[in-house]
Structure 1
């Protein structure tokens, strides 16, 4: 009977973690470039229950006509011991691109990157902006809502400096305003593109491609980190399928309707396990009162 209590409790713990993941997805539905997480629920290893000290027809082992063998185990069936939330797996599907007309809003489009064969399975690589973290390491983000800080550095909404192809922060020197900048699909930053006498190339935004994005670790602030630094795209055509769109942002890939539906089904599953615990509690209470002498 206690095994049933443990099974129902494990279901409640797992569904609670799933609900936390869904709530986080919902809270970031309007965060540019946010990638939702999916919770993977797995069953605990099942046990094969057998009946021992019993008779089993030897015919099942050596053929018809054989005598029964005392003590031979007889299979009964499988016993499952509940579920657990094994991990959160991010979904890196492309979010919708929305025009903002802000010259420093940049969206990555990478749907055309060809899939790669990783450990015998097809994996879709993904492109990211490279940013400098406060501790000096490199992080990766899809949030392209950039701006210029007081020193002319190109920064994210959270203040992380954007890294160029030279592995240094991109800096806009002089009195160049963000309205005077044009960013090409391959990341080139060009100032005064409409004035030939003043046109000049300032630098190039660094774009990193993760061949297996599931190896990335989420740090928070919509930033990921890799165990090994990802190489930046250096030349034109070295990584087909990646292009930047100036004046646009990538929305999150959270489906609001599906997320709300999943949250409601998770609550219903939690309530079902809660009722099972109540039934077991009542059964144990009756068992405890059997044979009890009052007074």
Structure 2
């Protein structure tokens, strides 16, 4: 009886976590660049139940069957597939449209494929490279940028946007004058909005967005504020495309010509959350939670009778 009580309680905890995950997705339907999070549940290890010993069985054991010991919400992986692009006409809004292909692999709707050996392979994804207030490198798909009083290009959450030289982008020309408006090419380089000439920093280098290719986006860690990080020791899973030349070599191909990736100025990538599916999952989690709750109440009433009624006999 107690085992059944624990099993039902574990189910309630798992469904509550699933419910929280889905409600977080719904709350971020309008968050630029947000990637849907999926709650994955698995069962605890099963136990083999056997009747052992005793004179009636001749001292031998007899297998009865397997007993499931409950369920838990194991992990919350994100779905990194491309979100829809929405036009904003804001010159400092940028969206990444990427579909980086891999030879001999065909990715499904979740960005996953299987190689010739049956191993799971996830589609590489392109990210903006930003810097946290503490000076640490982070990655984001949210491109609703703005310019502060110092001319720095910032995310809406206060992270500095890094440029091709790996340093925060400061929109001032070589003479120190503020640049009120820029034009971006498909590979993220900045041009003069009037003349079309490349914009250069004080060192004479062309300014532009520093893009990073993440080999396996499922290894990223969500930090909130629409940014991700990689754990220490896993920095090799991210390739910073300095001068955006990395996407033009044999490994990545010519990303502009083949449309594997492009920067869209005046657009924002929308959340890839499916609202209809989210509502279905929300209702399923609620019903499963209520079912486990009724089982807990049933066991509670049974224990009450065992203590208050059977105990008096």
TMscore range, shorter length: 0.7 to 0.9
Q: Please say if residues 100 and 125 of structure 2, whose CA atoms lie closer than 8 Å, have aligned partners that are also in contact.
A: no
Shift of the alpha carbon at 1:292?
4.7
Q: Please say if residues 165 and 232 of structure 1, whose CA atoms lie closer than 8 Å, have aligned partners that are also in contact.
A: no
Is residue 230 of structure 2 the alignment partner of residue 226 of structure 1? yes
Q: Please say if residues 129 and 206 of structure 1, whose CA atoms lie closer than 8 Å, have aligned partners that are also in contact.
A: yes
Aligned to 2:149: 150
Query: What runs of 5+ residues in structure 2 fail to find an aligned partner?
Result: 106-112, 201-206
Q: Please say if residues 113 and 126 of structure 1, whose CA atoms lie closer than 8 Å, have aligned partners that are also in contact.
A: no
- Measure, in 2, the Cα distance between the counterparts of 1:110 and 1:217: 20
> Which one of the candidate residues 76, 79, 99 is aligned to 1:88?
76
Moved over 4 A (4+): 115-119, 291-294
- Measure, in 1, the Cα distance between the counterparts of 2:297 and 2:42: 24
- Measure, in 1, the Cα distance between the counterparts of 2:146 and 2:312: 78
Q: Please say if residues 106 and 248 of structure 1, whose CA atoms lie closer than 8 Å, have aligned partners that are also in contact.
A: yes
Output one character per residue of 1:70-118: Cα deviation in whole Å (capped at 9) or x when no partner: 4332211100011011111111111001111111111001124336869
Largest Rg, 1 or 2: 1
> Which one of the candidate residues 88, 105, 109 is aligned to 1:100?
88
Query: What runs of 5+ residues in structure 1 fail to find an aligned partner?
Result: 57-68
Shift of the alpha carbon at 1:200?
3.1
Shift of the alpha carbon at 1:293?
4.7
- The 3-state SS of whatever aligns with 1:208 is strand
- Measure, in 2, the Cα distance between the counterparts of 1:190 and 1:55: 90
Aligned to 1:59: none
Shift of the alpha carbon at 1:290?
2.9
Which of the two has greater strand per residue?
Answer: 1
- Measure, in 1, the Cα distance between the counterparts of 2:311 and 2:46: 37
Aligned to 1:237: 248
- The 3-state SS of whatever aligns with 1:253 is coil
Shift of the alpha carbon at 1:120?
2.8
Computed over aligned residues only, the root mean square deviation of the Cα atoms, in angstroms, reads: 2.2
Aligned to 1:176: 179
- What count of residue pairs does the alignment treat as equivalent? 277
Output one character per residue of 1:210-244: Cα deviation in whole Å (capped at 9) or x when no partner: 10011111111010001244321131514332211
Aligned to 2:166: 167
Aligned to 2:10: 10
TM-score calculated relative to the size of structure 1:
0.88
